[in-house]
Structure 1
Amino acid sequence: MENPELPSKSRVVGFIDIGTNSIRLLLVRINPNKTYQVLTAQKEVVRLGEGEFIEQTLQPEAMERAITVCRKFAELARQRQAEEIIAVATSATREASNKAEFIQRLKDEAGLDVRAISGLEEARLIYLGVASGVHLADRQALFVDIGGGSTEIIVGDQQQYHLLDSLKLGAIRLTTMFFLPDEKEPISPIRYALIQNYVRNIIVRTIQRVQPYKIDVVYGSSGTILNLADIAAHRFFKRKLEREDEITHAQLKEVIQVLCEANLEERRQIPGINPERADIIIAGAAIIDTIMEELKLPSFRPSERGLRDGLLIDYLSRTDQSLMLGQMTVRERSVLHLARTVNFDEPHARHVARLALQLYDSGYQIGLHRLGRWERELLEYAALLHDIGAFLSYQNHQMHTYYLIRNADLLGFDQKEITIMALASLHHRKALPSKKEPEFAALDKDSQTAVKVLGIILRLSESLDRSHMGAVHRARFVSGDKREVILEMFSDQDCQLEQWGVENHLEAFEKTFNRPLVVRVIAKSSV
């Protein structure tokens, strides 16, 4: 897989995390040696998920608040000469029925290309962010991140995660479920127990998955846990929270009791609390409290690091020197894990991927398309996965491949990338992409173009190894007379099946590129 070039000078990059409760910005200067300096870290509470979790729709006022903050953060990043802004959206956005509208408005009004990421991808990035800021040595940790709409749970050590999970539990989500909008009274023990019972039912399978692991230390991150720890520090340590503080479950229990016994206005006055969280903190507290009860965890350590830090670490890893040493990226690992799980034909898939990249690169050289490195990478992954649906049934296996890619929670990818790969794989046989397909129609124009181009290249590449024997060892596009495109197939053996296969797609090629295709077989001895 292609190695990105290492930059020769420092550059400024911004990272934006559009969460259910808050939006965070991290702006850093990255140096050629992979060191970096934080230029600024900003956070604004916008309550994007307010009122959403009943009807699964982002509310107009919440979207306006989020867009305003994103626009300001983007302007700040550009004023500081940011060359790139990486922006992701989590629970509130990914679950919203009007997600596409919100993401398009962020592009139009804030100039941001926002990726909605899955819960497991969110968990992976949180792990990267928190684990990169602590020294675990040979210990194994449980990471718990409680957001406004979801809770991510990870088990991992210093080098890698072993378990990722994402639960539809969050401070805003549970507050919406269990409290009225204008509720201000203290919370009775019975009411709090009801919330805990709900949480317990949701987390039961996650608890079962975590229990076999030896947990040496627990790290809690995100606003709810940090604020609970801050209250505990003021109450038990008589000072602000410090990095190495450890909060026991007994201390957490006492803090929760104090919070529940106070009405909303009294709660806002409790030392250490963020007044903006006073209305949602009890629901969030019930999540960490119940998790600690079920896993019998004696304490946790708060971490100020989280998703936005994980975005930085992930960005650095994509251009890290380790890639040049042949180590796989998380995207490669994720793709191969899915493919190998269903016992794919790896030699065939890798050969098709090589041929696809040859066609892609030569097509670019003759002006057949103007796609870039990002689409090239997606083509390679789609080629590796194009036949995995045969695991379920060879007949219409492209449909099964599409389903598996769309639903496998591939790590390291956002939802748009997964959709492009899935649709390209779907159309490597039979029909061409059509706006009658809702998922294709929902993509922006550039992404639709990518699906069309990647799909036809994948279709031709699959045909070039129709016999699964590697008969065609190289292929390329070259310009012919007038507007013709010539596909040269290099082979030193009989490749009649492959030639017939390619010729079956001449009409599809011309419909895609508006240029005719001519097939030419070139014997190895004549090269």
Structure 2
Amino acid sequence: MKHIGVIDIGSNSVRLLITEITDKRSFKIITELKEYVRLGEGFDNNGSLKEEKIQETINVLRLYKNFCATFPDIKIIATATEAVRKAKNQSYLMDRIKSEINLDIQVLSGEKEAYYDYFASINTLSINNGLIMDIGGASTELILVENRNLKECISLPFGAITLTKKFNLQDSISNAEEKNLKSFLLDSFSKIAWLNDLKVNTLIGIGGSIRNIAKISKKRTNYPLNLIHNYKLDSAEILDIYDEVKLKSAEQRKKIKGLSKNRTDIFVGAVCAVNTLIDMCKIKHVIISRNGLREGVLLSTLYNKQKIDDILGFSINNIMINNSMNPKHSNHVYKLTLSLFDELKPVHRLDDYLINVIRTSSMLHDIGSNISYYYHHKHSAYVILNSIIYGLTPRECVMSAFAAYYHRSDSLPSDFDKYKTLIDKVDLYSIKVIGILIRIAENLDKDLSNSITDIKCTINDDVIIIKTVSNTNSDFLIKQAQTISDSFNELLGKKLYVV
């Protein structure tokens, strides 16, 4: 098995995710395709999917299967959710798909769909406890996570499309329509016993509609990062967004920055559902998960349902393998950087909350060399800023990127100011300290030999002596590290000697 293709037949869209397996513990997403079929709108009065929607779905699946066939040794996993789950003519649809394109479909139960949402979230976000909410076109999954374990889950038979149709939400809504919608949602949520005794204040949001809430938020604040995974919103902002969109027609909603044109007619019901749940459960903030069903299926298949204990390490390792980096050098620079950080704490006075930043920036400090060795620190910063690194907060991502940049420069790039909304003055100082330490560590392994096995620091009033531990002659490497002396002195106020 060289590739995995995950097909998700949802109530709103049919998607394909193709992944290349690059190593036993790593993968690379090749492409993602999406077609809006809107199966959730395609039922007749008897609860059966209409022929035109069946044919449209088959046409998309045929296209996807032919595309998958261009990849060697591919395993296709095709799933279907609520629209197919509740269709009276489900068997007919499955038979048509099997006979016409020879594709087997797993019709997931609500609980199985919830499990994949859970598995994707806990393996790509640093969360121990929280409530996961996945709003699809025709169903909403709620999952309670405690100590990274799935404690409770339920699938509710309504989503963005079905709420829109049931309560006539395509355009601006009346007070009566809003009252009926909220009453329905509150009644549905209140019937879930475990939801009434919730002791978490974080909601993890999954699905296109919830991602659109985050995209609107990002546009409002000129958020500097392109990434949406692990984006955090306060609950009050979601209420504000809901109050804005409910008063607009579908045509007017098209002008809202961040809102997908394909969701303007079904967005209000989804936002109202999120807002109602937040209010009922006293949720303080929402964290966006870019990953859901498809990624859950992928990770569950690759790792045999075993949870990933070290999310950040897994993610960094995945990036390193896919970029053909030198793992011995990267790990050694990280080891030396961490030793320097620990030994010099009395001087820089920074704490261990920076460990994720140190680990990421030191291990990926030269990833930009794949673009060009010259000025690779600039390319490294770009790659870190635009990679989804699981286990990092947006603030840690920015700090890691510019610490990697600073390891070869005594100044930060001209566009750095736009990221200052995510960091403060202490963070800026931390970036420079970590960057300088990486610079020393990199020069102590300039020949990629790992010959300097450790360092010990002696701190005097105005001098710091770094004593290297090596079994070979390391004069060249020591000389390289000594070149940092002036920059070190300017930042930390002490002369540096490397011996």
Equivalent of 1:94 in 63, 81, 85: 85
Partners of 1:309 and 1:53 in 2: CA distance: 32
Give deviations 1:88-139, integer Å, cap 9, x for gaps: 1000001000111111222223331001111011100111112211112xx3
Instruction: Tell me the residue number matched to 1:17.
Output: 8
Aligned residues: 307
Partners of 1:320 and 1:62 in 2: CA distance: 37
Q: Which amino acid aligns with 1:219?
A: I
Q: Contact 1:135 / 1:158 at 8 angstroms: preserved in 2? A: no
Q: 1:320 to 1:175 in 2, by over 3 A?
A: closer
Partners of 1:231 and 1:110 in 2: CA distance: 39
Written as runs of structure 1 = structure 2, the 5 A alignment for 1:306-317 is 306-317=292-303
Equivalent of 1:294 in 262, 274, 280: 280
Partners of 1:178 and 1:124 in 2: CA distance: 29
The Cα of 1:75 is off from its aligned counterpart by 1.3
The Cα of 1:217 is off from its aligned counterpart by 2.5
Partners of 2:32 and 2:39 in 1: CA distance: 20
Q: Which runs of 5+ in 2 are unaligned?
A: 309-499
Give deviations 1:437-482, integer Å, cap 9, x for gaps: xxxxxxxxxxxxxxxxxxxxxxxxxxxxxxxxxxxxxxxxxxxxxx
- Describe the SS at the equivalent of 1:169: coil
Q: Which amino acid aligns with 1:134?
A: L
Give deviations 1:189-210, integer Å, cap 9, x for gaps: 332221111111112122x313
Written as runs of structure 1 = structure 2, the 5 A alignment for 1:387-406 is none
Equivalent of 1:228 in 213, 222, 227: 213
Partners of 1:321 and 1:134 in 2: CA distance: 12
- Describe the SS at the equivalent of 1:44: strand
Instruction: Tell me the residue number matched to 2:94.
Output: 103
Q: Which amino acid aligns with 2:35?
A: E
Instruction: Tell me the residue number matched to 2:450.
Output: none
Q: Contact 1:268 / 1:274 at 8 angstroms: preserved in 2? A: yes
Q: Which runs of 5+ in 1 are unaligned?
A: 1-9, 323-527
Partners of 1:96 and 1:111 in 2: CA distance: 21
Equivalent of 1:166 in 151, 155, 165: 155
- Describe the SS at the equivalent of 2:191: helix
The Cα of 1:237 is off from its aligned counterpart by 4.1
Equivalent of 1:43 in 28, 34, 37: 34
Deviates more, 1:146-155 or 1:252-261: 252-261
- Describe the SS at the equivalent of 2:205: strand
Equivalent of 1:217 in 190, 199, 202: 202
Q: Contact 2:242 / 2:268 at 8 angstroms: preserved in 1? A: yes
- Describe the SS at the equivalent of 2:34: strand
Q: 1:229 to 1:241 in 2, by over 3 A?
A: farther
Written as runs of structure 1 = structure 2, the 5 A alignment for 1:61-100 is 61-100=52-91
Q: Contact 1:249 / 1:292 at 8 angstroms: preserved in 2? A: yes
Written as runs of structure 1 = structure 2, the 5 A alignment for 1:475-494 is none
Partners of 2:75 and 2:222 in 1: CA distance: 42
Instruction: Tell me the residue number matched to 2:240.
Output: 254
Q: 1:229 to 1:32 in 2, by over 3 A?
A: closer
Partners of 1:319 and 1:154 in 2: CA distance: 17
- Describe the SS at the equivalent of 1:66: helix
Alignment of 1:143 with 2:132, yes or no, is: yes
- Describe the SS at the equivalent of 1:276: coil
Partners of 2:252 and 2:294 in 1: CA distance: 33
Partners of 1:210 and 1:82 in 2: CA distance: 44
Give deviations 1:478-523, integer Å, cap 9, x for gaps: xxxxxxxxxxxxxxxxxxxxxxxxxxxxxxxxxxxxxxxxxxxxxx
Q: Which amino acid aligns with 2:116?
A: L
Q: Which amino acid aligns with 1:128?
A: F
Q: Which amino acid aligns with 1:305?
A: N
The Cα of 1:23 is off from its aligned counterpart by 1.3
Q: Which amino acid aligns with 1:193?
A: K
Partners of 1:41 and 1:157 in 2: CA distance: 31
Task: Please give the root-mean-square deviation of Cα atoms over the aligned residues, in Å.
Answer: 2.3
Instruction: Tell me the residue number matched to 1:270.
Output: 256
Q: Contact 1:48 / 1:65 at 8 angstroms: preserved in 2? A: no
Q: Contact 1:127 / 1:154 at 8 angstroms: preserved in 2? A: yes
The Cα of 1:238 is off from its aligned counterpart by 5.7
The Cα of 1:186 is off from its aligned counterpart by 1.8
Partners of 2:73 and 2:254 in 1: CA distance: 38
- Describe the SS at the equivalent of 1:40: strand
- Describe the SS at the equivalent of 1:70: helix
- Describe the SS at the equivalent of 1:279: coil
Q: 1:52 to 1:247 in 2, by over 3 A?
A: farther
After TM superposition, the runs of 4+ consecutive aligned structure 1 residues lying more than 6 A away are 319-322
Partners of 1:144 and 1:235 in 2: CA distance: 23
Partners of 1:202 and 1:191 in 2: CA distance: 17
The Cα of 1:31 is off from its aligned counterpart by 4.6
Q: Which amino acid aligns with 1:279?
A: D
Q: Which amino acid aligns with 1:74?
A: K
Q: TM-score, normalised by structure 1?
A: 0.55
Give deviations 1:120-162, integer Å, cap 9, x for gaps: 11100111112211112xx312110000010001111464211
Give deviations 1:290-324, integer Å, cap 9, x for gaps: 111110112211111000011112212339799xx
Alignment of 1:304 with 2:290, yes or no, is: yes
Written as runs of structure 1 = structure 2, the 5 A alignment for 1:430-445 is none
